[in-house]
Amino acid sequence: MAARSWKFHAGRLLLMVPGILLVGWLAGYPLEVLAMSLLAYLAWHLANLWRLYRWLQMPGSEVPESYGIWSDVYERIASLEKDNQKQKDQYRGMLAEFRQLTDAFPDATLVMDAQRNITWFNQAAQALLGLRSPQDLGKPVTNLLRGPDFANWLAVQGQVKSPLEMPSPRDDNVWLTISAFAFQKDQRLIILRDNTEVHNVERIRRDFVANISHELRTPLTVLQGYLEMLQDNESPEVSDSVARMLSQTAQMQMLLYDLLELSRLQSDEIRGEEEVIDVPGMLMQLQEQADELSRGRHQLVFEVDSGPWLSGVATDLESAFGNLLSNAIKYTPDGGTIKVSWREAGPGPQLVVEDTGIGIPKRDIPRLTERFYRVGSDRARQTGGTGLGLSIVKHVLNAHQATLTIESEIGEGSRFTCTFPPERRLDESA
């Protein structure tokens, strides 16, 4: 029966009052009959209220039979309950679908809260990382993926960071590529992919380049030695050719040195020790080297009186900063200015190397850190570059969770900015 409005029920009740009064008047006790009727009406409501209470305590039980306003109340509650159940079934279906979907993901996926505790993971995470549900829920993610590399990488907040490569906690021969994405408030989605095959191919390539570079060094040194002996030949024709050969061997030496340096940086086994670095002190030494390289042809301005220190690999950072500085000197014509500054900036400690040199075309900027990439081979050949310098810089910065930004205008100059995460900043007194 369709529910009637409460106005209908109230109207019916009001109509009954004169009837009761009439019966009472006829019986000679109008007030007593009215009081008795009201008492009976109250008892009926109380009984129904009790039935309603009992019914609500037993979900799923039959809707109690009643009439009048109570029949409408039961009907309304039953219909709300039905809608509620329908919605619940719908949500359950969606949740089951979502589970099936995430379990179909080939990559291990887990969710971490602000305290770095695991709040959810999919089936691939159980297989790849040996996570167990529900025992591992709520445990710190750093219990699972141990080591300073992961902790340092995770500590970098609010920046686009490149994925981390590390061995699986279950098997050292399995290599994982880990990416993290922030979502909702303070939550992070961590995706781990088995990258062993690519890692192995990459290692073979790296080892090959490192071995061949190493093997080439000895014959090249011998060749250079003989050429130096022939340098003072009386015949100008011979000494001219020898000088050219010597310059080519020097170029090859540089190339081998850079290749070996790059292989070393890419190798996970031979990473240098992290230490406290006095960056202003390091830059003072680099200033001396820059003076030697420029030989007074440029104005060198260093703004590094004081500034933050860093935690990192000193030799690697020195090589990266040195590369940026030597590039600025190489690609700035005589009379130009090179400015180096080291300061605490908003996003973290920053090294800026700025020059008033030849500049870089916009289209080349995104590719500069690729191995052997040069802007116009003629230009680079003149300067004797290897095309590996900025790859080295990029590698060193990646290993320190730092970013490289390149801005440049043709004919006006270039600015290279290295931004370190605040987590790497150390106070001078540390």
Nearest approach, Cβ of residue 215 and ligand ADP (Å): 23
**Beta-sheet strand order (sheet of 425-426):** 275-277, 309-312, 425-426
- Among residues 116 and 339, whose Cβ is nearest to ligand ADP? 339
Nearer to ligand ADP, 206 or 415 (CB): 415
Considering beta carbons, is residue 318 or 355 the nearer one to ligand ADP? Answer: 355
Query: CB of 247: closest distance to ligand ADP in angstroms?
Result: 15
- CA-to-CA separations, 339 to 116, 208, 248, 302, 419, in angstroms, rounded: 41, 39, 31, 6, 16
Q: Which is nearer to ligand ADP, 55 or 373 (CB)?
A: 373
Question: Nearer to ligand ADP by C-beta: 194 or 354?
Answer: 354
Least distance CB 424 / ligand ADP (angstroms): 24
d(CA 282, CA 349): 15
Closest CB to ligand ADP among residues 313, 360: 360
CB of 221 to ligand ADP, least distance (A): 21
- Report the b/e string of 320-351 with b at 16+ CB within 10 A: bbbbbbbbbbbbbeeebebbbbbeeeeebbbb
Among 183, 177, 193, residue whose Cα is nearest residue 119: 183
The tokens 């340098």 sit on which residue? 231
Interface residue list for ligand ADP (CB under 6 A): 323, 327-328, 331, 355, 357-360, 368, 373-375, 379-380, 385-391, 414
- C-alpha–C-alpha distance, residues 182 and 320, integer Å: 30
224 and 218 Cβ atoms separated by less than 8 Å? no
Residue (24 or 389) nearer to ligand ADP, CB = 389
Q: Which helix (H) or strand (E) holds 298?
A: none
CB of 316 to ligand ADP, least distance (A): 16
Least Å from the CB of residue 382 to ligand ADP? 10
Task: Give me 222's structure tokens.
Answer: 């011998």
Q: How far is the CB of 414 from ligand ADP (least distance, A)?
A: 4
Max Cα-Cα span within the chain:
153
